[in-house]
Amino acid sequence: MPMPADELEARLREAFPDASIAIEDLAGDGDHYRARIVSTRFVGLSRIRQHQLVYAALKGKMGGELHALALETTPA
Amino acid sequence: MTADAEAPAVNEFITKTVAENDVVLFMKGFPDQPGCGFSAIVVQILDHLGVGFAGVNVLQNDALRQGIKSYSDWPTIPQLYVKGEFIGGCDIVREMFQTGELKTLLSEQGLLT
């Protein structure tokens, strides 16, 4: 069950209002994305904690509705 | 039995597995036959570094597949553990490999010969 890119971006924007967010649809199927997120919210956090924040923003969609989301998170 | 009923046993299995093996990869499929591209990437990285690891196929059991996600509070497979500590999924492992951090970590733990 794919998720449209604009929905993904909207969810991320909501959770990371200050962030610079770039989303790529890797396979053109609405199911495999890469998101690059640069946000001040990542400052001082381990990579695991940074990615957990992103997964939390997706409220359980990750691993279900969203099959594949490659993440690159960077503290701003 | 439902996945919920099996949860305590699964949790015990995970705890025991990561305690008894220095490097554990919870993955889809088997190390010599990964069932998913993301699992395959992590296997390739570990093989490339020449570190031995225990591969656990989460597809064998739905309770395990769910259990490992709650164990680490991480929604996806694969998941790499070194000396009982959750290191990350495919993206983090790949990034740590590219920067050399993974090799340093494994070497500091005495896992590279």
CA of B88 vs chain A CAs: smallest distance (Å) = 6
The two structure tokens encoding residue A42: 């990542």
Instruction: Supply the pLDDT for residue A24.
Output: 93
Q: Determine whether the interchain pair B75/A72 forms a contact, defined as Cβ–Cβ distance below 8 Å.
A: no
- Output the average pLDDT for chain A: 91
- Asked if residue A27 has pLDDT above 90, the reply is no
Instruction: Supply the pLDDT for residue B2.
Output: 63
3-state secondary structure (DSSP) of residue B26: strand
CA of B12 vs chain A CAs: smallest distance (Å) = 23
Of A39, A6, A7, whose CA–CA distance to A21 is shortest?
A39
Number of cross-chain residue pairs from A and B with Cβ atoms under 8 Å apart: 30
The answer to whether B86 faces chain A, any CB pair under 8 Å, is yes
Q: Which domain holds residue A64?
A: 5-75
- Asked if residue B1 has pLDDT above 60, the reply is no
* Candidate from A52, A70, A72 with C-beta closest to B73: A52
Q: Which residues of chain A from 37 to 66 reach within 8 Å of chain B, CB to CB?
A: 47-48, 51-52, 55, 60, 62-63
> Can you name the CATH fold of B3-108?
Glutaredoxin (3.40.30)
Question: Stretch B40-49: mean pLDDT, rounded?
Answer: 97
Question: Stretch A45-53: mean pLDDT, rounded?
Answer: 94
- Output the average pLDDT for chain B: 94
Instruction: Supply the pLDDT for residue A64.
Output: 79
Instruction: Supply the pLDDT for residue A30.
Output: 80
Instruction: Supply the pLDDT for residue B11.
Output: 94
The answer to whether B38 faces chain A, any CB pair under 8 Å, is yes
DSSP letters for B39-102: HHHHHHHHHHHT---EEEEGGG-HHHHHHHHHHHT--SS-EEEETTEEEE-HHHHHHHHHHTHH
What would the 3-class secondary structure string for chain A be? CCCCHHHHHHHHHHHCCCCEEEEEECCCCCCEEEEEEEEHHHCCCCHHHHHHHHHHHCCCCECCCECEEEEEEEEC
Q: What CATH number has the domain bearing residue A50?
A: 3.30.300.90
* pLDDT tens per residue across span B46-83: 999 999 999 999 999 999 999 999 999 999 999 999 99
Cis peptide, bond prior to residue B78, ω within 30 of zero? yes
What ipTM score was computed for the predicted complex, to two decimals? Answer: 0.76
Q: Which residues of chain B from 6 to 35 reach within 8 Å of chain A, CB to CB?
A: none
- Asked if residue B14 has pLDDT above 70, the reply is yes
3-state secondary structure (DSSP) of residue B5: helix
Instruction: Supply the pLDDT for residue B61.
Output: 92
CA pair distance B102, B106, nearest whole angstrom: 6
Largest Cα–Cα distance in chain A?
Answer: 35
Give A-chain residues touching B82 at CB under 8 angstroms: none
Domain total of chain A: 1
The two structure tokens encoding residue A21: 């967010």
Q: Determine whether the interchain pair B69/A51 forms a contact, defined as Cβ–Cβ distance below 8 Å.
A: no
3-state secondary structure (DSSP) of residue B19: helix
